[in-house]
Amino acid sequence: MACHNTSRRVYNHMQILERWNVCLFVVGTYLAVSARCQADLPACEGRKIFVLDLGIFAESAGLPPCSIDATFRVDPITNVPFLRDDPQVKNAFLPQYLGQYSGPWHLAQAIAGSQYVTTDIDAADIVYVYDYCYYTWWLAFVHSNGRVQREDATPGDHLLKGYQALIQMPRWKKKDGADFVFYDPHPGFATGRAEMPIIDMACNTFKHSMHIIAERSQRNVCQTYWTMADKLLIAPYVPATSDVAKPLKGFMTKTTPLEDRKALLWFRTKCLPYIMEGKGRYVNGHRFCHHVSIALGKAGSDVDVSCTDRQLGGHPLPFRSIMDRMRNSTFCLSMPGDSASTRRLSETIMAGCIPVFIGPPYATMPMAEDVDYRAFSVFVNITDYSGWLQDRMEWEIHPTIRPYHVLNPWTWLPEVKVEDLAITVESASSVAAHLRWMQKKEVLHKLERLASERQKFSFQPFITGPYSAINIIMERLCSARLDPKL
């Protein structure tokens, strides 16, 4: 069932579909088996990558065993992991690789199944730290229990022990970790007992390593990352799927022709609450979404924008229906939530809906150097942002306090230059009118560019023919500087 190896980089449409069908069959049938569908990655030519599973330290460092199939489970509603016995996921759960933080698993599978893998750490140019099981265990623990202080060891402590063992390796010491790669798919390390030392390690001990991250805020927490743009990559979240048996279906479904799209603009979000529990700080993303949803909610029968909170008269939609509605709409709003990155952006692009980035602040644009956001997106600059950017969220903030502020403005600066393209309006209520009167030629051009870019947001456990997120991540990893910064 292997896809045959080919070095050709120009594929016609049928070949793409054939390759994808075969690969899909492999995934669908053998799920966790690393597929042998390979394409070449020019940047990885001559590079060897070693996948270092943190589990190898279990015995020597006294870590309890962790299993990606048994230790945690992914909630089908939120796509985030919970502990195995959590009642929320006891009866209904998804395979771990459909969780939104499963990027590291896809990457490990893709490397392991590629011609760039080596099983000899001494022969490797690059070491990928595969901490996925312990990392996700920690995330699941936090989702199930909240950020409680405990006497006994938590999965965060296990992760920390694993890292402490890692840095004792001669291979680590050789280049002070500069040829190591970490993938932190969640921005949430905060203040727990194990988390502070983990942040400290990630920022300082691992400061020469490459970091694949999910959010700009991770860059802000670590001051050392500010100057290492070449070893920092913001990756997208793994999009959800409406069909577990066919995780690639969303990308294989053709995008809807413009004339068949019934809605002009679509958006759904949870708008409440605004205040971060216990901290008294505004979650500006939520307030922002609420303002925009109210402003646009009555902008026309072809505008389908609203909050899902029952208190605001809304209701949540099943994922399948969300995807159907996005496919059926020409434009979809893209706004940050309580953090700067959203999984919905991956899904919007997967659905072939033109993202409309509204700011300030702007949602994170992952893989900004590899994705042509300017060609397929619309950017709107709202000049009266007093409703959501108030004194608690100043646009200018002193550098000394930047790193400690999850809500800090620097987190929200766009990765892509947007000023020259942005449509400037005073209030969100006029966004629909601008979209409605956009020239058809321009809309068609954006849809065409989007159709060819959208596969970049798909995650496969192998290198794909048409570029997917994993190809981009691997190429970045192969081209990162391998020496400690002088």
Ligand X SMILES: *[C@@H]1O[C@H](CO)[C@@H](O)[C@H](O)[C@H]1NC(C)=O
**Interface with ligand X (CB under 6 A):** 262, 324-325, 327-328, 381, 383, 418-419, 422, 424
Closest separation between CB of residue 185 and ligand X, Å? 28
| Shortest CB 375 distance to ligand X, Å | 18
Put the strands of the sheet holding 329-334 in their side by side order: 303-307, 263-269, 329-334, 354-359, 378-382, 423-425
Alpha-carbon separation of residue 411 from 338, 348, 360 (angstroms): 12, 22, 11
Report, in Å, the least distance between residue 249 CB and ligand X.
14
Residues 6+ apart with CB under 8 A from 330: 258, 261, 263, 264, 265, 353, 354, 435, 443, 447
Centre a 10 Å sphere on the Cβ of residue 90 and count the other Cβ atoms it contains: 11
Residues 33, 63: Cα–Cα separation, whole Å? 26
- C-beta closer to ligand X: residue 120 or 396: 396
Nearer to ligand X, 325 or 344 (CB): 325
∠ at Cα 47 (42, 50), nearest 5°? 130
Residue number with the shortest CB distance to ligand X? 262
Q: Which is nearer to ligand X, 5 or 321 (CB)?
A: 321
The 3-state secondary structure of 233-279, one letter per residue: EECCCCCCCCCCCCCCHHHHCCCCCHHHCCEEEEEEECCCCCECCCC
Q: Nearest-5° angle of CA 236, CA 361, CA 480?
A: 40
Q: Work out how close the CB of 217 gets to ligand X at its nearest, in angstroms, rounded to a whole number.
A: 19
Shorter beta-carbon distance to ligand X: residue 272 or 413:
413
DSSP 114-127: STTB-S-GGG-SEE
* Order of strands, sheet of 49-53, starting from the edge strand that comes earlier in the sequence: 49-53, 126-130, 180-184, 210-213, 232-234
Of 210 and 333, nearer to ligand X (C-beta) is: 333
Could you tell me the smallest distance in angstroms from the CB atom of residue 388 to ligand X?
15
Q: Are 471 and 41 in contact (CB under 8 A)?
A: yes
Of 133 and 322, the one with the shorter C-beta distance to ligand X is 322
Token output for 317: 């939609």
313-350: b (≥16 Cβ within 10 Å) or e: ebeeeebeebbebbbbbbbbbbbbbbbbbbbbbbbbbb
Residue 386 CB, nearest approach to ligand X (Å)? 13
CB nearer to ligand X: give 67 or 321. Answer: 321
Q: Which is nearer to ligand X, 100 or 241 (CB)?
A: 241
Tell the smallest beta-carbon distance from residue 242 to ligand X (Å): 12
Q: Which residue's CB is nearer to ligand X, number 310 or number 320?
A: 320
Smallest separation (angstroms) from ligand X to the CB of 327: 6
CB of 297 to ligand X, least distance (A): 17
Q: Where are the alpha helices (DSSP H) in 148-241?
A: 155-166, 170-174, 195-200, 216-221
